[in-house]
Structure 1
Amino acid sequence: MTMIAAVALVPLAAQAPAQAAPNVATGTAAWTPEIYPLFSGEWVKRDVPGDKRRDALIDCSRASGIACVAVGQGDGKHSIFHLFKCDTRSLSNFIDALSVRNNQTGGAQVRFWGPTYSYHAPADGNIYNFPDHATYDFNRLDIC
């Protein structure tokens, strides 16, 4: 019976490192940016490669009335948020590589602010890049 118990433990021990390794590797190097709330019809696309970010941001905001936000995930990839509802939202894990393309109508701005910094992107279809030190400070977003 002792032999059977030892055999049963070996496969479990062998599986544990294989399952733990991916979590350790990605968990320490990356984060998940969030905008809350996302309203019905709004969405986020994760894991956009850095070399595809600009094109993804433009594609996201082609429709009139849309504002799109791209922000780094800490692993060389980006999250792209597709937004259109006029409201104030909370931000979390906004740390670096923030870009905005505002294709809203009626002159609506995309405005970010925090305890120290405030920046906006006018509705002119250009891509605006914000400095990392300000991005880290931002805790609110308004798209009106």
Structure 2
Amino acid sequence: MISPLFTDREERRFPHVDTDDRNLLIDICPSGRLCVAVGEGNGLHTVFYLYYCTERSLTNFIGDGSAKHAQTGNATAHLLNQNRVFRVSLYPDPDPVRIDWDPIYYIDPC
């Protein structure tokens, strides 16, 4: 889970998707979004499309996942550990990257 998640037109959550659908949802990440995928522990995944520049808490983000930074301009997304120390910075990139969610407790989309 990501909190807060703004469930308006700008942000979306796609739960219980298989690997092929996860890959597709990450690949087609809309412009202006940070898209992240996390495994559910049962072979399925949840994909989130994040838009707003607000720090979020992550719950049950474990193991490997992926992210695609499709924001515009110089926006940089930051993944932080439990002490809010930067672990990973994501820059706009047309290609998804693998993420190890185990040390990540917070995400700041921009």
1:142 lines up with 2:99 in the alignment: no
CA–CA distance in structure 2, aligned partners of residues 108 and 117 of structure 1: 15
Task: Map 1:14-29 to 2 at 5 A.
Answer: none
1:32-75 CA-to-partner distances (Å, cap 9, x unmatched) read xx01001233120011102332112112x1x3211110110000
Shift in Å at residue 110 of structure 1?
2.0
Per residue, is there more helix in 1 or in 2?
1
Which segments of 5 or more consecutive residues in structure 1 lack a partner in the other structure?
1-33
2:52 counterpart residue number: 85
Q: Which has the larger radius of gyration?
A: 1
For this pair of structures, how many residues does the alignment match? 106
TM-score normalized with structure 1 length = 0.68
Secondary structure at the residue paired with 1:55?
helix
Bigger RCO of structures 1 and 2 (CA < 8 A, at least 6 apart):
2
1:120 lines up with 2:86 in the alignment: no
2:34 counterpart residue number: 67
Q: What's the C-alpha RMSD, in Å, of the aligned pairs? A: 1.6
Percent identity of equivalent pairs: 33
Q: Structure 1 runs of 4+ off > 6 angstroms?
A: none
